[in-house]
Chain A
């Protein structure tokens, strides 16, 4: 099966159960569909519900999911390994997302530990040539056979002779020593995750031939290192992470003070320029066109005509609450009844009207029950049917 950057698409899905962090997904209920294209690809459905995980490989079409990611296999694996910038793969169309895109950014990092490449027996055996230490092998002449069972297994013979080491596929019949085990045990031993004494003692490793030779092989080779791990250690870059949270209190000044007092009484007060007659809402102290003070207030609205709708799909933090905003939502620009036509006023749209709202429609304000003199007094505008 195709490997990308040394890993397979299935590795990412197969390791999900071990990488899963139930504490990170309390109260989350999502279904994520994956359609991975190209060699080694396929379709998977990942369900996270009640802090439990289910990963299924699907034949045929994906069922209804909260979000579906369609990705080129190489971009998918590269993104998981941090070999390519997922944002850029996303921007250039190599990764596409349909549905609730926020899940990928908000839920996945909390749900899973980062994917690290699976080390396979083949990589360890093939690296023996590079790890060979000729200075320790003077006069050594032996053939070491590895017979590894399991999905990632295989059979290899390492030949040490005349201060060199070669590795070939298959078991030579005249091996000095042959070691048989499940490939995962072989990998675990080489990564230091399985205690050799226990493995040999418990019969997980079966040795045929010269036991002493088997014991001597270790000093002939440098320790196996996961690709990139040593390098990474040398380049560890320390950065500090912090989230500042600051309480603010802003004085309104005279004109905005009058505006908020008006909102408490369900009224919209605009200033009117004494020179050009332009109304400003919310009220500002100076007309920026005529550069004169505006101290005259007139009441406008309460209804208005929509001139522009900005429907937001991108979920960003709301600095007034610290919470990520629920999307989609719409910012409305409207000209209030009684305002001059160049002056638009902006506020939120009642989410129930998202599908129906159009430029030119008449809208009315919906007020909060308890009004305290803030932007929260005005819940939103809605279509004035």
Chain B
């Protein structure tokens, strides 16, 4: 049975800053304000129309308490009910889930969700390490850097095929990012560089090289959610939140034994598709915006999210089926390897899906009609959030 909803919830406004490694010209408040204004303009609303604000970033990165209070001049939350949400990497998608629940419940008609990060103001890798379990693992963790997935893929598919596939995935993401003027890293990589990058990009951990890994970005993303009645009134093209699921299981990285338990990604997808009656997710969805922190993870997780088996996901990559003109385009925005302002990252995913459904994505708009979209969030020790978005209220 699908998520029980009291009423339908539509996305009626989206605002994003440009994403970059440096935003010295803005403080956090100003950066948030830029995205808030853009979202209000997109929704054709003013702050008077907003009933409640949900605010989130990974505040331990910048180490400032009550950022919701500090940012209130930029968010416009003054005098309004407000919630602050901090769930690490998943923050952005948890914000969307919370806003959806707040509107669906009937508590508020219009909710504005704000995700942001200014990673330039802290030390991301040091910060992540410093948040690991202090009793066991902090002494081992190196931020979000690990090559465990690379090692497993090499074991399963052989060095040559696995390495080429990961690099092809990375270059494909860069080609998508080049089309997105808001994306942070747009290198202009070519597939001819594959062999060279496989050898020369500096190694971070094992087979995880610098080029494979996500960026550290600054930026903010804002989405406005409205109940069905209001959404239809204010927006010509509301995008509907159909369902979402959050799965987390282990608080440690203990899943690298001789037998591998079911990944949270797989579990989340299986449950979500089951309760929504989706038999063939590859056929059903028109776009997937994935939280892909590295090329290795991104490629490996496609198998989990779409319940694929063996090397189906690699074959699809080799046949360009995850590309913009492929069977199921993944990350037309360029994804997380190009842009990663952590507290906003998991919100950019459903925001970009909604833009694709509306047909407003710009240069990276898919050529096909986009009706059904999927977005994922990721954080911590394999937390997973999946969000389904729809063009029409028909399910």
Contact = CB atoms under 8 A, between A and B. Distances in A.
Interface in A123-150: none
Interface string A311-326: 1111011111000010
Nearest to A257: B135
A239 B218 CA distance: 16
A93 B197 contact: yes
A344 B137 CA distance: 12
Interface stretch (B94-102, B202-210, B271-279, B361-369): B202-210
Interface of A: 85, 87-88, 90-93, 96-97, 101, 237, 239, 244, 248, 250, 252, 256, 259-260, 280-282, 284, 288-289, 305, 307-314, 316-320, 325, 331, 333, 335, 339-348, 359, 375
A307 B256 contact: yes
A236 to B, nearest CB: 10
Nearest to B253: A346
A317 to B, nearest CB: 5
Contacts of A284: 251-252
Interface in B178-216: 185, 187, 189, 193, 196-197, 200-206, 210-211
B214 to A, nearest CB: 11
A352 B165 CA distance: 33
Interface of B: 21, 24-25, 63, 123, 125-126, 129-130, 134-140, 142-143, 145-148, 151-152, 155, 185, 187, 189, 193, 196-197, 200-206, 210-211, 249-261
A341 B63 CA distance: 39
A309 B206 contact: yes
Contacts of A85: 21
B187 A342 contact: no
B136 A333 contact: no
16 contacts: A87-B21, A93-B211, A96-B200, A239-B24, A260-B135, A280-B254, A282-B252, A305-B258, A310-B147, A318-B129, A319-B130, A342-B259, A343-B257, A344-B257, A348-B139, A375-B136
A151 B204 CA distance: 44
A345 to B, nearest CB: 7
A344 B254 contact: yes
Contact of A346 (B134, B137, B142): B137
B300 to A, nearest CB: 14
A91 B129 contact: no
A311 B147 contact: yes
Contacts of A333: 148, 256-257
A289 B261 contact: yes
A310 B138 contact: no
Given A88-B185, A288-B249, A316-B125, A307 B140 contact: no
A99 B252 CA distance: 33
A348 B140 contact: yes
A326 to B, nearest CB: 13
B270 to A, nearest CB: 15
